[in-house]
Amino acid sequence: MIKENINKIKASIPNNVKLIAVSKTKSIEDILEAYNAGQRDFGENKVQELISKIDRLPKDIKWHMIGHLQTNKVKDCIRDEIVLIHSVDSLKLAKEIDKESKKRNKITNILIEINIGNEETKFGIIPNELEDFLKQLKDLSNINIQGLMCVAPNTSDTSKYFREMKALATKYDLKELSMGMTNDYKKAINAGSTMIRLGTLIFGERNYIKEKIDKIMTTMEEIDYGFKDNQNFNLIEDDNKWNDFSRFYYLLSPEELLDKKCGVCWDQVELERILFEKNNIDCKTYFIYIDDKESLPSHTFLTYSVDNKFYWFEHSWYNYKGIHEYDNEKDMLEDIKNKFIDSRKDEINEEYKLYLYEYNKPNYHISCDEFYEYIKTQKRLF
pLDDT tens for 310-333 read 777 776 544 556 677 788 888 888
The Cβ of residue 175 has, within 10 Å, a number of other Cβ atoms equal to: 10
Residue 259: pLDDT band with limits 50, 70, 90: low
Which residues, including other chains, have CB under 8 Å from residue 337's CB and lie 6 or more apart?
288, 354, 356, 382
Q: What is the pLDDT of residue 299?
A: 65
Fold annotation for 2-206: TIM Barrel (3.20.20)
Number of residues that this document lists for the chain = 382
Between 28-36 and 2-12, two packed helices, what is the crossing angle to 10 degrees?
Answer: 50
pLDDT at 235 over 60: no
Q: What is the pLDDT of residue 372?
A: 66
CA 105 from chain center: how many Å?
25
Spell out the domain ranges in the chain.
2-206, 209-380
Residue 382: pLDDT band with limits 50, 70, 90: low
Instruction: Decide which of 48 and 266 is more confident.
Output: 48
- Pick from 211-220, 257-266, 269-278: least confident: 257-266
Question: How large is the average pLDDT for residues 322-347?
Answer: 78
Which amino acid is present at 160?
A: K
Tens-place pLDDT, residues 165-185: 999 999 999 999 999 998 899
pLDDT at 79 over 50: yes
Task: Please state, rounded to an integer, the average pLDDT across all residues of the chain.
Answer: 80
What are phi and psi for residue 269, nearest 5 degrees?
Answer: -65, -35
Tens-place pLDDT, residues 131-171: 999 999 999 999 999 999 999 998 888 999 999 999 999 99
Output the CA torsion sign for 244, 246, 248, 251: positive
Tell me the C-alpha distance between 349 and 346, whole Å.
8
- Cross-strand partners of 320: 315
Residues of the chain with pLDDT > 90, as a percent, come to: 45
